Structure 1
């Protein structure tokens, strides 16, 4: 089912939040070790995806041009500014805003990121949910941590996550029906490989080994479609 990965993601956020309400104190060493283990799993997933490429030049070209566009547009800076603005507007020191602050902060963490976009597209185009299943584990654990500090508002972040990722997955299904199968197969393969490189970057960032503006690489996905179109246009 197209929405399987998205629904699982929503459920893990709920479960993690409920567990966070029960466990108030988690040793810092345990948090670090679990997050590092998840980061290694994310890197492994990214490598597996990246090795699927059949036209490596498309991957390289898409990442380079996508990074250029992302840096020019300052996507990551823009997203951070939105997050800071929302938190400033809704997260004042009063206790009445605790629920809103938890909801907004968690939503930004779960929705703003390459894994949300790539995972939802993978669900819609290939009916493969590994990226969203991995994201679900990360989100569930972080929901537990967030809830211990920000309260029950974190739980309600599953609503925008399901709507956002579900919409992308359903849109990807429509694209799949309109584009010729041969072109779609090439796009899916190279989109998966290009996304895999971004997933590796996310894993390394989670492990604290590399600081990279992954959101600024997101334009690489539409660039894959552009290069596939150019190759087909000129009979490559």
Structure 2
């Protein structure tokens, strides 16, 4: 039973609904300051994952090549368009007040939230662990942060934040049910490097959340697909040649 996945999806949906309803009552200064705290939390989670890295060359290779691939296939632009369609669909039923945000900033923030909820290393790894061992603790811990993160972002973005729970649950459920195939093929080093790659994305997401630097986090997602094969190749073929 994918309890962790369901709870995580509900935390995003409920947090988004509450934020959309009470957003107008919160001062902008309060929302901005709390968003800075969430940004530093994302950075901290990213750093805590990066330090687990076993094979730095493999992870760095995956992040660079994965990002280059994402830029080449215009993954970020595709996700931007998807975010726009999502917002337009929700706006028909729940018109949102975008406060003082311009359209470009609105879309950029929405993409940041989509990647944060759907493509974090913590969520992906937690879904695999949940499906393989029945341990939902990782996703439960993520759900607490996601609840409040969704609430704060929904204050500015509106009800569309709740809809992100749908693609998030689809992705995590696929990983949950495929865990029996994925996990046995992974070594501890591959898992550690996978977490580290997700940590890079979480760190970049934190920079975007505090609006310090707009990293192309959506284009970085292919790195998470490449990192495990890269880690395996490094350990089994490249490292023996250079050591």
User: May I ask how many residue pairs the two structures share in their alignment?
Assistant: 219
Is contact 1:52–1:193 with CA below 8 Å preserved after alignment? yes
Could you tell me which residue of structure 2 aligns to residue 21 of structure 1? Answer: 21
| Residue 120 (str. 1) matches residue 120 (str. 2) | no
Q: How far did residue 188 of structure 1 move?
A: 0.8
Q: For the residues of structure 1 that align with 2:35 and 2:194, how far apart are their CA atoms?
A: 27
Partners of 1:111 and 1:211 in 2: how far apart? Answer: 13
Asked if the contact 2:45–2:203 (Cα under 8 Å) also holds between the matched residues in 1, the reply is yes
Q: CA deviation at 1:22?
A: 4.7
TM-score (norm: length of structure 1): 0.76
User: Any conservation in 2 of the 1:20–1:144 contact (CA below 8 Å)?
Assistant: yes
Query: Quick one: which of 160, 168, 171 aligns to 2:175?
Result: 168
The question of whether the paired residues in 2 share the 8 Å contact of 1:14 and 1:158 is answered with no
Deviation at 1:35, TM superposition (A): 0.3
Aligned twin of 1:63: 63
State whether structure 2 residue 151 is matched by structure 1 residue 140: yes
SS of the residue corresponding to residue 214 of structure 1 reads coil
The 5 A counterparts of 1:52-201 are 52-85=52-85, 87=87, 90=89, 97-99=92-94, 112-113=114-115, 115-117=117-119, 118-127=121-130, 128-129=138-139, 130-131=141-142, 133-147=144-158, 155=162, 158-177=165-184, 179=185, 183-201=186-204
The normalised TM-score by structure 2 is: 0.74
Q: Distance in 2 between matches of 1:113 and 1:38?
A: 14
Q: After superposition, what is the alpha-carbon deviation per residue over 1:123-148, rounded to whole angstroms, capped at 9, x for unaligned? A: 1334533555433431232234444x
Quick check: 2:15–2:148 contact (8 Å CA) kept in 1?
A: no
Q: 1:140 to 1:173 in 2, by over 3 A?
A: farther
Report the counterpart of residue 50 of structure 2 in structure 1. Answer: 50
Distance in 2 (CA, whole Å) between partners of 1:115 and 1:91 is 18
Structure 1 CA distance, aligned partners of 2:81 and 2:23?
32
- Distance in 1 (alpha carbons) for counterparts of 2:7 and 2:117: 15
- Specify whether residues 49 and 86 from structure 1 end up closer, same or farther in structure 2 by C-alpha distance, changes over 3 A only: closer
The alignment yields a C-alpha RMSD, in angstroms, of: 3.2
Q: 5+ residue gaps in structure 2?
A: 98-106, 131-137
* Stretches (4+) displaced over 6 A: none
